[in-house]
Amino acid sequence: MVVSDERYRSAPSAASGRTARCRTGSRVSMSASSRWICFATIRTRRSFAMHRTTRSDEGGGRSDDGGSRTKVRARGRGGGASGRHGNIAAGSFDRQPPALSPASLSPNPSRRHRRLNPRRTNRSDLSAAMAKEKKRKEPPSDAAPPQGGEGEGKRERKGKKAKKHKAEAILPSQIKNKEKRSELHAKLKREKKAEKRKLARERSQAIRRAEELGEQPPERQVPRTIENTREPDETVCRPDDQELFAGNDADEFNAVLKQHIIPKVLITTCRFNSGRGPAFIEELMQVIPNSHYVKRGTYELKKIVEYAQNRDFTSLIVVHTNRREPDALLIMGLPDGPTAHFKLSKLILRKDIKNHGNPTSHKPELVLNNFTTRLGHRVGRMIQSLFPQDPNFRGRRVVTFHNQRDYIFFRHHRYIFETKESKVASKDKKAKTSESKSQPEKQVICRLQECGPRFTLKLLTLQHGTFDTKSGEYEWVHKPDMDTSRRRFFL
């Protein structure tokens, strides 16, 4: 039987059934052992050449290198298995046919690599890519050597190595174990403190050396902060500003600050007061001398202002609460204003302060810090008009309004003088008794004790006259568009 790959129309018919149809229409019957030969004859030349080599080595067939009309002839009646239409050489089908991949069915063998699994990587290609990358990273051979000799090159390499080691340092946040993370954090903190002490020791030695030599000591370094790098402001008050002094003599607080009138403050609340509002008002009355509380009830604020003016009050404070928590403070100067609206936050009452003290009824000292601009100067004078201008120093009370980045921090302290005895060793080496060796020395120590409350204010609006939401004229209003920089302040 002679089988040609040009005569078959389709391989599946020959592989799936027992008969195959030729171009002439006649049917060729074949045995089960010879079916796979017909299937192999229609494959590509490369796979079929492998079958030809196998058959030619065993002496059972004949191959033609032309490739176009390749034929396989089975002969030898005595030595092989016999079929219905011919004999097949013995030993030709002892081995299983090789597995044919879908890539081998491609008519163009050069496209076989495109159909491989992309996850499989050829080792030769990988090594070639690595060599190419290594060659790209290497400096060119004709590059100029580093200047400065071998020693400078070594120092440069050492510096690069140190930078690389520093960049590869493990941060505590990258460690998942809590104990190891805390140990590393404590170690870094100790190293930072040691470095700081070392720098301070070097600075002090440099100053001492300059004093011994009679030279000028090095300038003390001033750290860069947001406060000392603030944007320049034209409204910053100057000590020789005569216009500012003239405005102080004509403003609404001049009579109180020059002690022509004794300050008298009325404190009230919003219509629905609850939560920590009453406790805050009680402590506020202990801070501000000569202050009185009037229950708001259902009265409008204008009625309260008329009531305060008729009874010669110089200021009015309204504590506003929201969700049972004080959140705003309204301060009005009477009778002509102005009215300042503050946002109140971070309120801590006296009972919540650890080791707090109880204030006395003495008139406190008033400390105002960092009110530098025209607006800050006006707000500071309004706060100053709430307190009497003749403090009683025997009471040792201090009320502080500290402005920092347009936030006004309120603190209330009393300072305490304490006498402590400390043992000082005697310089007399001949003294033998213990009494002569240690001599007690009395030292007076001053410390502060906070009395509370503690809160923070931020100015929102400043209005001319008393409180009027409809026809009031505002001197200054804080808007979100004004916060263009972190270094821009208004007080």
Residue whose structure tokens are 């080595």: 57
DSSP secondary structure letter of residue 411: E
Mean pLDDT: which of 116-130, 135-149, 230-244, 419-433 is highest? 230-244
DSSP string, 278-314: HHHHHHHHHHSTTEEE---TT--HHHHHHHHHHTT-S
User: Residue 91 is encoded by which pair of tokens?
Assistant: 């030993």
User: Residue 356 is encoded by which pair of tokens?
Assistant: 């707090």
User: Residue 261 is encoded by which pair of tokens?
Assistant: 């009138």
The proportion of the chain whose per-residue pLDDT surpasses 90, expressed as a percent, equals: 40
How far CA 292 is from CA of 111, 270, 284, 287, 473, in Å, comes to 97, 16, 10, 12, 29
Domains of the chain in start order, with CATH, are 2-110 (no CATH), 242-482 (3.40.50.10480)
pLDDT in tens, 419-454: 888 766 555 555 555 555 556 788 888 999 999 899
Cβ-proximal residues to 349 (8 Å cutoff; 6+ apart), any chain: 276, 279, 280, 283, 452, 453
Answer yes or no: is pLDDT of 48 > 70: no
Beta bridge partners of 474: 463
H helix runs in 385-450, sequence order: 434-437
Q: How sure is the predictor about 156, in pLDDT bands with cuts at 50, 70 and 90?
A: low
Helix %, strand %, coil % of the chain (to 5): 35, 25, 45
Residue whose structure tokens are 């707090």: 356
How far CA 151 is from CA of 132, 146, 155, 156, 276, in Å, comes to 32, 10, 6, 9, 73
> 173: how many CB neighbours lie within 10 A of its CB?
9
pLDDT in tens, 372-384: 999 999 999 999 9
Backbone angles phi, psi at 292, to 5 degrees: -130, 145
User: 104 near 46, Cβ under 8 Å?
Assistant: yes
* pLDDT at 351 (0 to 100): 93
What size, in residues, is the chain?
Answer: 491
Diameter of the chain measured on Cα atoms: 144
Return d(Cα 359, Cα 413) in angstroms, integer.
8
* Dihedral sign (CA 472, 475, 478, 484): positive
Return d(Cα 168, Cα 426) in angstroms, integer.
55
Return d(Cα 22, Cα 340) in angstroms, integer.
107
Q: Going along 299-391, which residue ranges are E strands?
A: 315-322, 325-333, 339-348, 365-369
Answer yes or no: is pLDDT of 136 > 80: no
pLDDT in tens, 59-74: 444 444 444 444 444 4
Instruction: Using CA atoms of 117, 120, 121, 123 in order, give the dihedral in degrees to the nearest 10.
Output: -120
User: 112 near 47, Cβ under 8 Å?
Assistant: no
User: 446 near 417, Cβ under 8 Å?
Assistant: yes
Helix (H) or strand (E) holding 256: helix 254-257
Q: How sure is the predictor about 25, in pLDDT bands with cuts at 50, 70 and 90?
A: very low
Q: How sure is the predictor about 152, in pLDDT bands with cuts at 50, 70 and 90?
A: low
pLDDT in tens, 338-374: 999 999 999 999 999 999 999 999 999 999 999 999 9
Backbone angles phi, psi at 461, to 5 degrees: -140, 155
